[in-house]
Amino acid sequence: MGLAIDASCDLPQTFLQEHNIAVMPITVRVDDEVFLDDRSQVEIHRFLDRKLGDRSHSAETEPCTVEDVQRLFLDKLVLEQDCVFCLTITATRSPINDHVIKASFAVLKNYRGVREKNGLTGPFLMRVIDTRNLFAGAAPTIVEATRLIAAGEAPAAIRERLTHIANNSYGYMLPRDLYYLRARAKKKGDRSVGLFSAVLGSALDIKPLLRGYRGETGPVGKVRGFEHGAETLFNYAAERVQAGLLVPAVCISYGGELSEVAKMPGYDKLRAACEEAGVALLESPMSITGMVNVGEGAITLGFAAEEHVADF
């Protein structure tokens, strides 16, 4: 069994390589420049080094087409695996989930001939899972998938468990630039960040803490200043770790140099809580897609836990 994810699911490249996870890339166009968002460190650094700043909010993103997904599976994955779980960010924010579902019909119709030509027999299964979250918030479902595959669980049991984890995954985001966030939201027709809120928030250095949960995103708190916001978010995550998680992992992504995360207030407390509880702390550069949507310098953090009320 294997896994495929879309590029905006934030996990470290080393984790993806260790578990042989295929990545469905996203094409990002900023003016006349094109970036292939495939979670490659080289491409992420090329994007950061270009210092595109405010220009990025006008970027066009093109997720894998139905045909691209079909080619990935029929040219490669059906020859390497007998069952592939395909995990995407929430269908409410991206068409990639719909593309993968549509592609699955053609894949499941045509895989037999491809496998037989290469001396492979037996059925091929393709299962599509909506993580119902964004960026680092999509990571807990993927981490759990690797754990279940390693444990030798049956496909039906894996699918049921991953659906449960997706429904109980929490993704938090702390943006750095409200003006950028509003400009990007306006371009995409999203009215969730109004001009008044952006101006007031920037003037007073007030940042919203946003949460992704079950396909919905919205503010759950406000903090004064980015550093204080990071400390608030990390302290909150440490408390959730101590209370118990459904998947022993906390995932952080950052829209900049990853070495900056460990210097932020509250990080040491979160790391210590994870170590004490035997929880993996996975740190990842934010995808290029994530950065053009929420702005460079933003933090996202994800974990899976029983339903609870966020208290900020």
Identify whether residues 20 and 162 lie together within a single domain: yes
- From 133, 167, 201, the end of a domain falls on 167
DSSP 75: I
Q: How far apart are CA 245 and CA 304, in angstroms?
A: 6
**Is residue 309 domain-resident?**
no
Identify whether residues 176 and 50 lie together within a single domain: no
Identify whether residues 221 and 97 lie together within a single domain: no
Handedness of CA 237, 137, 142, 61 (dihedral sign): negative
Identify whether residues 196 and 299 lie together within a single domain: yes
**Is residue 270 domain-resident?**
yes
Q: How far apart are CA 246 and CA 169, in angstroms?
A: 9
- From 152, 167, 182, the end of a domain falls on 167
Range of the domain at 206: 169-304
pLDDT of residue 195: 47
Q: Any idea what the CATH number is for the domain that residue 19 is in?
A: 3.40.50.10170
**Is residue 219 domain-resident?**
yes
Q: Any idea what the CATH number is for the domain that residue 186 is in?
A: 3.30.1180.10
What φ, ψ does residue 238 adopt, rounded to 5°? Answer: -60, -40
**Is residue 310 domain-resident?**
no
Identify whether residues 158 and 176 lie together within a single domain: no
- From 167, 202, 227, the end of a domain falls on 167
Identify whether residues 173 and 127 lie together within a single domain: no
Identify whether residues 255 and 146 lie together within a single domain: no
pLDDT of residue 53: 66
Q: What's the pTM value of the predicted model, to 2 decimals?
A: 0.93
Question: Residue-wise pLDDT tens for the chain (312 aa)?
Answer: 999 999 999 999 999 999 999 999 999 999 889 999 999 999 999 999 988 866 777 788 999 999 999 999 999 999 999 999 999 999 998 999 999 999 999 999 999 999 999 999 999 999 999 999 999 999 999 999 999 999 999 999 999 999 999 999 999 999 998 877 777 767 766 655 554 465 555 656 888 889 999 999 888 888 999 999 999 999 999 999 999 999 999 999 999 999 999 999 999 999 999 999 999 999 999 999 999 988 899 999 999 999 988 877
Closest CA to 135 of 192, 91, 100, 88: 88
Domain count, the chain: 2
Identify whether residues 131 and 218 lie together within a single domain: no
Q: How far apart are the first and last CA of the chain?
A: 40
Taking residue 228's Cβ as centre, other Cβ atoms within 10 Å add up to 15
